[in-house]
Amino acid sequence: MIDGLFRFTTDAKEAVDHGLFQFIAVGTPPDEDGSADLQYVLSVAESVATHMSEYRILVDKSTVPVGTADKVKAKVLEVLEKRGVDVDFDVVSNPEFLKEGAAISDFMKPDRVVIGADNPRTIELLRALYAPFNRSHERFVAMDIRSAELTKYAANAMLATKISFMNELSNLADRLGADIEQVRNGIGSDSRIGYSFIYPGCGYGGSCFPKDVKALARSAREVGYNAELLEAVESVNGRQKELLFNKVNNYFDGDLAGRTFALWGLAFKPSTDDMREAPSRILIDALIEAGATIRAYDPEAMAETKRLYPNEENLVLCDEPNDVLKNADALLVVTEWKSFWSPDFDKIKRELKQPVIFDGRNLYDPALMEQLGIDYFGIGRGKRVVN
């Protein structure tokens, strides 16, 4: 308990008896077909219905397909009918928009609070609940339930689309001899576009974007619509995750067996140890399959890497970023941790067998790299070594 306000319990009845608002905040992992697995959401709904004895509001925070609130409502009604009781309740969609690594800050200072409800009374109850987070300006956005459910998927799909679009342009820039970073500055200055999520790189990962784009595309197919753009976003991202390996492979003319590569960054993004769908995993697997050895470092994801690769002899985890460099054939940068932004390039040159950097996040200036005598390959920087 924290100041008498926060208490943990594994007793479902105690939790249901305690609060008017019953938040459903469980995982919705993807099934093999890309659809969201709702078993945990419906399990919570069943638990609430089993123990509720007076009016309750079931608030779905989980990322779920459109129509999930109907399934939650049906599950509650089914359980209440089996119990032979009639208890009033409402189901609300209140999707979360929390960035991994900044969840508490995002919750305390939200961009918006989306509420999907069919009962005006319920909307006002949620408005009162969120009032402390809505003081400086209006953040409360009320809508119908299905629109709220779609809003979450639409937000993540839009952000993923921006990333894949920039990655598509970066590959074109490589072939045209243009610098995608200059292009990014040029288009980002347009207020209609902005600078957020237009950074090219070696693909997006994590627990949200890949899962949600696939789930939304699956939902489209289920209603007879071919969401071509969503399919393309996922396809481009899958291809982009292979790009860094292809650049390395082509640079060394396919002769990777017996070579050692230094790897900076394992998590799918900074400020987390999450390696779900991480580009680093695609790169590591491809290099190992090609017969190479990897020495890797990440500020947070070392334990997770050990869990994912418990007996991999060709993957060596080092305690410090500079430890990975000794006699490596090249340095590969995969995650844009700030500790990688301003390295000692002289040391990198001394430690590597040859001064070669493959930068999957465009952290370094090609002109500076050329001045320092480092063979440098970024993403869309106009220097192509991939067919």
Positions marked active-site: 208
| Alpha helices, H only, 4-112 | 12-18, 39-51, 68-83, 103-108
Neighbours of 221 (CB within 10 A): 15
Give the C-alpha separation, 146 to 356, whole Å. 51
Give the C-alpha separation, 205 to 275, whole Å. 8
Give the C-alpha separation, 159 to 165, whole Å. 10
Cα separation values, 75 from 6, 39, 79, 80, Å: 28, 11, 6, 9
DSSP states of 197-221: T----S---SSSHHHHHHHHHHHHH
Structure tokens at 192: 């209609």
Render the burial of 352-375: b for 16+ CB within 10 Å, e for the rest: beebbbbbbbbbbebeebeeeebe
DSSP state of 229: H
| SS3 of residue 211 by DSSP | helix
Give the C-alpha separation, 149 to 170, whole Å. 33
> Taking the CA of residue 383 as centre, how many other CA atoms within 13 Å lie in the half-sphere pointing to its CB?
17
DSSP state of 295: E
Neighbours of 343 (CB within 10 A): 18
Residues sharing a CB contact under 8 Å with residue 6, sequence separation 6 or more, in sequence order: none
